[in-house]
Amino acid sequence: MTYLWLALAFIAAAVAAGVIFARQGARPGESGKHWKAVGLAFAALAVLTAVFDSVMIGMELFHYDSAHILGLKVGLAPIEDFAYPLAGAVALPGLWMWLTRKRSGESNRGGNLKGLIPQALLASRPVSWINTAYPFAAAMLLTTREIDWVLIVGTFYFLIPYNLAMYGINDVFDYESDLKNPRKGGMEGALLQPRLHRPMLWLAAITNVPFLLVLAFAGGPAAWISLAVSAFAVVAYSVAGLRFKERPVLDSLTSSTHFVSPAVVGLALAGADVTPGLVILLVAFFLWGMAAHAFGAVQDIEPDRQAGIGSIATVIGARRTVRLAVVLWLVAGLAMLATPWPGPLAAIIAVPYIINCARYWNVTDTTAARTNVAWRRFIWLNYGSGFLVTLIFILQWSLTS
C-alpha cells in the first residue's frame, strides 16, 4: 500500500498545480480544449505505459517490493505506475499554458529562435570538441582505470556544453571584429546574427550550469576549485569588461587554461596523487596550449588591429610571437624528457609543431596573414598528436597494470 499513498501524494500535488496553472493561464474559451487535450495525452500515455512498463519490467530493468504495492496489474505494470504519466499529463501542460499565456497572441517567439541550435553547434567548432573532452577523459580514466558515471557525464560536458559556452560567448562578444574578418564563418568559427546573441548566452548558461553543479557534487574541494577556474576562464576570455583575450600574455594563459583545466578537473574528480611527473606533464601541456594560442593570433594581426583589438601578437608583433611559440613548444618538448617513462616519448610530439611554425621565423606583420596555411595544418596536426598521446597512454597503462 505504501506505493499507493506515495503516488496519491504526488498526484494531489500535480493536480493542484495543474488546476491552478490552467485557471491562471487559460484565455477565455481555452480551458475546454486544454482539458480535452490533457485527456487525449493521458489516454495515449496510459496505453504506452501499459505496453512499455510491462516490457521494461519483463526485461528486469526494475521491480517493486511486493509488500508495498496493491497487486493490481495491467500486463506486468502495477496500477500505481500509471500515476507518473497521470501526474505529468495533468501538471505540465498547465504550466506550459501558463508560461506561454501572454505570448500566444503576440508574434511567434519561437520564430525568433529559428536557427539557434544549428548556429550554436556551428559556433562551438565541432572539429575542436575533442580537444577539451579528451584531456578530461584521459586524465580521469588513467587515474581511476574504470568507466563510471562521473567519467561519462564529465566527458559529455567537456565535449559539447563546455565548447558551446566557450565559443558561443566568444562569438557574441567578438561579433563586431569578426564582421571584418573573412576567415570567420567556416571551420574556424561562425558569424552569429545579433538577434541570436541573447539566446546564445542563455543557451550557454542552461547547458553548462547543471553539469558544473553535478560535477562539483561528485567531487571535493579540489574539483570545486578546478571547475571554478575552468568556468571562469571560459567566461573571462571574451566577456565584455574582462576581455582577457585582449590582454597580451593573459590571453595566451587563459586560452591554454581552456584546454588544460579539463585535465585538471578530471584528475581532481579522480583523486589523483600529485607527483612531480604529473606536474611537469601539466606544465608542458600548458606551454603547448600557450604556444598554440600565440601562433593562432598571428594570422589575425591585421583584422584585429583594424578592429582595435589587442592580442599577444598585435602587441609584440608577428615575428616575435612566432618565435615565442617555437620556443614554448621546444620547452614543452624538453620538459617531457624529465617525466618518468614512457613520458619522454611525448617529447617527439613537439617536433612537427616546431617545424610547421618555424618556417615563419622571419614573418612580418604584413605577411602575417599567410600563417593561416600553417594554422589550418595545425588543426589536423592536433589529431595526429592525439593519436600519439593515446599510444603513449596505452603503453603507460600496460606498463603499470
Q: Which stretch binds another protein (CB under 8 A): 109-117, 271-279, 307-315, 350-358?
A: 109-117
Coil, strand, or helix at residue 319? Answer: helix
The DSSP symbol for 396 reads H
Q: Residue with C-alpha cell 576581455? A: 243
- The one segment of 37-45, 312-320, 351-359, 368-376 that binds another protein by CB under 8 A: 37-45
DSSP states of 67-125 as a string?
GGS---EETTEEGGGGHHHHHHHHHHHHHHHHHTTTTTTSS-HHHHTTTHHHHHHHHT-
Tell whether residue 193 is a contact of another protein (CB under 8 A): no
CA separation for the pair 202, 196 (Å, rounded): 10
- Give the residue, chosen from 152, 228, 337, 355, that forms a contact with another protein under the rule CB under 8 A: 152
> Minimum Å distance from CB 132 to another protein?
22
- In the bound state with another protein, the residue whose beta carbon lies nearer, of 127 and 206, is 206
Q: Is residue 205 close enough to count as binding another protein by CB under 8 A?
A: no
Site string for another protein, 345-364 (x = CB under 8 A): --------------------
Site for another protein in 214-243 (CB under 8 A): none
110 scored as a contact of another protein (CB under 8 A): yes
Binder of another protein out of 24, 100, 366, 390 (CB under 8 A)? 100
CB of 144 to another protein, least distance (A): 13
C-alpha cell, 258: 581552456
Give min distance, CB of 181 to another protein, in A.
29
Taking Cα atoms as reference points, which of 285, 396, 296 lies closest to residue 345?
396
Measure CA 276 to chain center: 30
Residue 338 contacts by C-beta under 8 Å, 6 or more apart in sequence? 280, 344
Nearer to another protein, 85 or 289 (CB): 85
Q: Which of 256, 250, 376 is nearest to 315 (CA)?
A: 250
Q: Closest distance between another protein and the C-beta of residue 153, in Å? A: 8
Q: Which is nearer to another protein, 64 or 383 (CB)?
A: 64
* DSSP H or E run through 10: helix 2-25
In the complex, the smallest distance separating the C-beta of residue 124 from another protein, rounded to whole angstroms, is 17
Span 42-71, contacts to another protein by CB under 8 A: 44-45, 48, 56-57, 59-65, 68-69
> Does 293 participate in binding another protein (rule CB under 8 A)?
no
Q: Kindly tell me which of 93 and 189 has the beta carbon lying closer to another protein.
A: 93
DSSP per-residue letters across 250-317: HHHHHHHHHHHHHHHHHHHHHT----HHHHHHHHHHHHHHHHHHHHHHHTTHHHHHHTT---HHHHH-
User: Which residues fall within 8 angstroms of residue 126, CB to CB, at 6 or more apart?
Assistant: none
Which listed residue (16, 40, 70, 395) binds another protein by CB under 8 A? 40
Options 154, 161, 168, 199; binder of another protein; rule CB under 8 A: 199
Query: Which amino acid is it at 238?
Result: S
- Report in angstroms how near the CB of residue 299 gets to another protein at its nearest: 36
Give min distance, CB of 57 to another protein, in A: 8
Q: In terms of Cα–Cα distance, which of 396, 400, 304, 323 is closest to 364?
A: 323
Rounded CA separation 337/342 (Å): 9
| Residue 109 or 359 with smaller CB distance to another protein | 109
What does the binding site for another protein look like in residue numbers (CB under 8 A)?
Answer: 2-3, 6, 10, 14, 33-34, 36-38, 40-41, 44-45, 48, 56-57, 59-65, 68-69, 84-85, 87-89, 91-93, 95-96, 99-100, 103, 108-110, 113, 116, 148-149, 152, 199, 202, 206
